[in-house]
C-alpha cells in the first residue's frame, strides 16, 4: 500500500543533519551520515544524550557540571565542561562549517541545531506529529507515510541512563511508537492488506506481548486470510500470557472474537 509523502518534508535529504545524535536504541553519533566513535559511557556521550533529551536541547551549566562531575569542585567541573565542549567542536565542527556543535547561551549549554545538529528523537516526534496533522486535514495517505517514516526511525527504546527524566522520556516515546504501529496496522487492515496489517501487529506484540488489541488484529487478519487455526492459536497465546503475567483473562472483545472464530469465522 502506497501513501503520499507528508506535506512538509522533514530530513528528506539523507538524514538532513550534518551531525545527528541517535538515542533510539544504542547511542550513535553520525557526521555526514558516517559513524563517529565516542567512548561508550563516556562524558561526551553523556553530554550529548543529556542535551538531546532536554527541553529545547538546553541544560543549565550547573546541572551539567553536577551531573557529569558529581565529585569535583565547581571550578574543576567548569574547566572540564569547557574542555569537553571544545573537544566536541574539534571532532564535529568541520561538518558544521566550523560552527561548534554545543554552544553556551543564557546560562546553559545547548545543541547548535541552527548549525545542523539533529537528534533522532526530535525527528521521530516531528514525523509523528506531522502524521497527526495530516490525518486531521483528511490526508490519510500522507499521514500513513509520515507515520511509517517515524516507526522506521525507532531502532529501540532509549538505553542511555536511568535517571527519572530518561525513564519518563523512554516510556513516552515507547508508547508513541506502539500507538503508531497500531494506527498503521488498522490502516492496512481497512485497505484489505491483511499481510501488511499482520506485520505491524507482530511488531507491536514483539515490543508489548500483552497488547490485546494487537492479538485481536492478528486474529482478524488470519481469519480474513482463511487461516482459522492460526487465529485460534493467537487467542490461546494471549490467554496463557495474560494468565501467567497478571492472573487475568482476556477482555470481552477478545473473547467475543474468539467465539466468532470458533463458530462463525466468516462473520469477522
Q: Give the C-alpha separation, 30 to 35, whole Å.
A: 4
Q: Which helix (H) or strand (E) holds 126?
A: helix 120-136
User: pLDDT, tens digit, for every residue of 40-77?
Assistant: 889 999 999 999 998 888 999 999 999 999 999 999 99
- State the burial class of residue 97 (Cβ atoms within 10 Å of its Cβ: 0-12, 13-18, 19+): exposed
- Cell numbers describing residue 259: 467465539
Q: Give the C-alpha separation, 100 to 252, whole Å.
A: 57
- Residue 253 is predicted with a pLDDT of 97
CATH class of 19-118: mainly alpha
C-beta separation of 59 from 49 below 8 A = no
Count Cα neighbours of 104 within 13 Å in the Cβ-side half-sphere: 11
- Residue 49 is predicted with a pLDDT of 93
* Minimum mean pLDDT range among 41-45, 121-125, 248-252: 41-45
User: pLDDT, tens digit, for every residue of 77-92?
Assistant: 999 999 999 999 999 9
- Cell numbers describing residue 18: 550534518
- Residue 15 is predicted with a pLDDT of 55
Q: 10 Å Cβ neighbour count for 169?
A: 17
Q: Give the C-alpha separation, 153 to 24, whole Å.
A: 8
- On the question of pLDDT at 10 being above 70, the answer is no
Q: Give the C-alpha separation, 58 to 23, whole Å.
A: 16
Domain range summary for the chain, segments of one domain joined by +: 19-118
Report angle CA 156, 158, 160 to the nearest 5 degrees: 135
- On the question of pLDDT at 207 being above 50, the answer is yes
| Confidence band of 200 (pLDDT split at 50, 70, 90) | very high
- Residue 12 is predicted with a pLDDT of 36
Indicate the length of the chain as a whole number: 268
More confident residue, 230 or 14: 230
More confident residue, 118 or 8: 118
Per-residue HEC secondary structure of 183-211 comes to HHHHHHHHCCCHHHHHHHHHHHHHHCCCC
Amino acid at each position: 500500500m502506497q501513501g503520499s509523502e507528508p506535506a512538509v518534508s522533514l530530513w528528506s535529504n539523507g538524514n538532513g543533519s550534518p551531525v545527528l545524535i541517535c538515542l533510539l536504541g544504542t547511542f550513535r553519533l553520525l557526521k555526514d551520515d558516517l559513524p563517529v566513535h565516542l567512548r561508550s559511557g563516556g562524558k561526551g556521550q553523556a553530554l550529548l544524550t543529556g542535551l538531546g533529551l532536554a527541553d529545547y536541547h538546553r541544560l543549565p551549566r550547573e546541572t551539567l557540571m553536577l551531573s557529569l562531575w558529581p565529585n569535583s569542585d565547581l571550578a574543576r567541573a567548569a574547566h572540564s565542561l569547557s574542555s569537553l565542549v571544545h573537544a566536541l567542536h574539534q571532532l564535529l565542527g568541520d561538518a558544521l562549517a566550523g560552527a561548534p556543535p554545543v554552544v553556551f547561551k543564557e546560562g546553559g549549554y545547548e545543541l547548535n541545531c541552527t548549525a545542523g545538529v539533529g537528534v533522532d528523537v526530535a525527528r521521530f516526534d516531528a514525523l509523528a506529529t506531522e502524521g497527526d496533522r495530516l490525518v486531521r486535514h483528511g490526508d490519510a495517505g500522507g499521514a500513513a507515510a509520515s507515520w511509517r517514516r517515524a516507526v522506521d526511525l525507532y531502532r529501540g527504546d532509549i538505553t542511555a541512563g536511568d535517571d527519572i527524566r530518561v525513564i519518563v522520556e523512554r516510556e513516552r516515546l515507547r508508547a508513541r511508537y506502539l500507538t503508531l504501529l497500531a494506527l498503521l496496522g488498522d490502516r492496512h487492515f481497512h485497505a484489505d492488506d491483511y499481510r501488511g496489517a499482520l506485520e505491524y501487529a507482530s511488531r507491536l506484540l514483539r515490543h508489548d506481548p500483552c497488547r490485546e488489541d494487537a492479538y485481536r488484529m492478528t486474529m482478524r487478519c488470519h481469519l480474513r486470510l482463511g487461516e482459522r487455526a492460526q487465529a485460534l492459536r493467537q487467542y490461546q497465546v494471549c490467554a496463557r500470557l495474560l494468565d501467567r503475567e497478571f492472573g487475568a483473562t482476556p477482555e470481552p472483545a477478545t473473547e467475543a472474537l474468539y467465539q466468532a472464530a470458533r463458530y462463525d469465522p466468516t462473520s469477522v
